[in-house]
Structure 1
Amino acid sequence: MVRNVLRRLLFRAPTALRRCCHGEPSSSGQPQPPPATDKELLARKVRRYTLSRYVFYVRRFEHTLEENFPSAMHVYRVFVVGIKDFYEDLKHFIRVARWINRNGRDGLARNELELHFQMPKDMVRVAPVLLISALPFANYVIFPLAYMFPRHLLSRHFWSLQQRVDFAAIALRKRLYNQRPILRCLQVRLGDLEEGKLRDQWANILGLLGSGAHPNLQQIQQVSGLFAETQAFGMAGLWANHKNALVRLHGMHMGWKRRWRLRERAKLIREMDFMITEEGVTSMSNDEMRYACFLRGLNPVNVKTDELVLWLHKWTLISNNTDDEHLSLILHLPILLGYNQPSNWVLLYQ
């Protein structure tokens, strides 16, 4: 930034002054002017000295502020970098939204799907701060206040890497409290199932979850019929308290059209899972992998990368083999694959 300011100052300076500062010879074919007098030479030296001191001051200005006001400069950088990142994501989000309006979500990459899912939440959180800061002298109040409460008043664009992990863990902890009510609903409905092999297989899965283990992929696929649209655990067969706990487990509000929003969330997660399979789990960065685990109900903090890759691989194998009639299965995967995860229990009871 400082270099750009200096460059503009130099190019806007008079031609004679630039030649004086840089020692550039005259490139025109006109006769050279007569030698300068002592007063003209003195004036040139004064101008050169003044300009050089000004350039030195501009170069040192940011460093001086950093030394004298380190806290203020840190806040300044947080908001400058955050607003720049927010603006770039907003432009990208608008392009993605236009594509979805014309063509649906087909053809979008994984990061574009995640941006379309996350950006509206960030916009709602940051909008009050940006609107209030536009009022006269309001930025002197709202920016320090937002810096004091970044989790509530700012988005991920303004957070540090550690804050992103910490705030995501706090949000996941609130969601995980709904796992036990969902498991209780699944256990209570066991008596409503018809006698047969399917009921026995489901009882075996409930026993594994109750004893601290998880069913394997084959066991989950064998009972996928229970999650069909009109079956006991399908979208149309869920009890009201079961459905409400699922809404809270996936971090959604308790307002209108809960069943429709649950179905749309399952479809979105399935599309993200398909793109993860296409791009490869191992091609994801650590931050992307952590975000994917937080979204799907697994606490990735202090978990080895190999274990995260294996868990996401299991999830995507089930999700990619689930059709529109069994979307409820995707919504229950945080229970079937994550209820007894040690990192989740540490997060809940630390």
Structure 2
Amino acid sequence: PAAIRIYRIFKEGFQDFYQDFKGLMIVRKKLRRNYHELGCLSRQELELNMRMPGDMYRVAPVLLISALPFANYVVFPLAYLFPRQLLCRHFWTLQQKIQYSVLDQKRRLRYYKPVFRALQSKVSSLKGHQTHNLWRQCIAQLGSGLHPGSIKVANVQHLFGNGQVYDLKNLPSSHLRVLLKMHDMHTGWRRRKRLLERAKMIYYMDLAIMREGGVEAMSQEDVRTACFIRGLNPTNMNADETVRWLKEWIKLSKGLKDESWSFILHLPILTAYNHPSNWVLIH
């Protein structure tokens, strides 16, 4: 019966949510003890720290209203009918998690081209720079439906470093806005600080993956989640393809120099802009 199904979904969902909430509190305490150094966290702890606040914000109205007398008789069936809008991943089935992740990725993909155009618009200003020709080749390849090789991408990393043209501090507000949207973040206050925090979170996740045995040690579900976080739709890829792509990403990420955090934020463009698995969502 529907009533029993709803009861089971909410019972198990609340249990999972509460466990993750407790886990988040432990993570926050751990960060305070270690002076907010993200390197002290495991990959799972970093993912929890990044995703759980959004889950709490999403499900908060349902939890608050359901606390009112008899309100749960209305709120829970309504939330069951609109799980994506009113609930978070703790209450979703595996199929729903994949479906909603794809929808989120499809929304993010709308901002890939504007971010690419923002990168492209600065190419001419780099004339005379030692890597101008190399960067122009990278942009040309991306514009023609290809991806530059990882060696090329690594060699232009410094363009995103301190004081450089693509440094976070030097990006215009229009670029920041689409970059935030591409990373599924709101465009309100503290734009640069929140982007910096996101870049660090992803970077330290990459280091944690290497520290914990590499991509091969991850489950396929964890690999898919990691791909979604980094801007790639993995649903049309087999296990070997997702592992290979994530390993290439981490190879680029772990070579970060001069605090080129903007490089991490733009890696979805440099590594997944023309990926067939992404293109199938928008074409």
TM over 0.5: yes
Q: Which consecutive aligned stretches of 4+ in structure 1 deviate over 6 angstroms post-superposition?
A: none
SS of residue in 2 equivalent to 1:325? coil
* Match in the other structure for 1:50: none
* Match in the other structure for 1:191: 124
Match of residue 174, structure 1, among 107, 132, 137? 107
Q: Give me the whole-angstrom Cα distance separating, in 2, the residues matched to 1:167 and 1:263.
A: 26
Q: Give me the whole-angstrom Cα distance separating, in 2, the residues matched to 1:196 and 1:92.
A: 47
* Match in the other structure for 1:286: 220
Q: Which amino acid aligns with 1:235?
A: L
Q: Which runs of 5+ in 2 are unaligned?
A: none
- Give a deviation string over 1:187-238, Cα, whole Å, max 9, x none: 1111111325411101111111111111111101111121112111111221
Q: Which amino acid aligns with 2:169?
A: A
Question: Root-mean-square deviation (CA), in Å?
Answer: 1.1
Q: Give me the whole-angstrom Cα distance separating, in 1, the residues matched to 2:72 and 2:258.
A: 48
Check the 8 A contact 1:175/1:250 in 2, yes or no: yes
- Give a deviation string over 1:147-185, Cα, whole Å, max 9, x none: 011011111110000000111111111111111011111
How does the TM-score come out when normalised to structure 1? Answer: 0.78
1:299 lines up with 2:233 in the alignment: yes
Check the 8 A contact 2:31/2:40 in 1, yes or no: no
* Match in the other structure for 1:80: 11
Q: Give me the whole-angstrom Cα distance separating, in 2, the residues matched to 1:247 and 1:97.
A: 24
**Higher relative contact order at CA 8 Å, sep ≥6: structure 1 or structure 2?**
2
Counterparts of 1:34-73 in structure 2 under 5 Å? Answer: 70-73=1-4
Check the 8 A contact 1:190/1:199 in 2, yes or no: yes
How does the TM-score come out when normalised to structure 2? Answer: 0.96
SS of residue in 1 equivalent to 2:40? coil
Q: Which runs of 5+ in 1 are unaligned?
A: 1-69
Q: Which amino acid aligns with 1:204?
A: Q
Counterparts of 1:1-350 in structure 2 under 5 Å? Answer: 70-103=1-34, 104=36, 105-279=38-212, 280-349=214-283
Check the 8 A contact 1:229/1:237 in 2, yes or no: no
Check the 8 A contact 1:266/1:330 in 2, yes or no: yes
Q: Give me the whole-angstrom Cα distance separating, in 1, the residues matched to 2:158 and 2:27.
A: 35
Change in Cα spacing, 1:195 to 1:106, as seen in structure 2 (3 Å) is closer
Change in Cα spacing, 1:123 to 1:324, as seen in structure 2 (3 Å) is farther
Q: Which amino acid aligns with 1:91?
A: K
Q: Which has the larger radius of gyration?
A: 1
SS of residue in 1 equivalent to 2:113? helix
Q: Percent identity?
A: 49
Q: Give me the whole-angstrom Cα distance separating, in 1, the residues matched to 2:107 and 2:158.
A: 30
Q: Which amino acid aligns with 2:15?
A: K
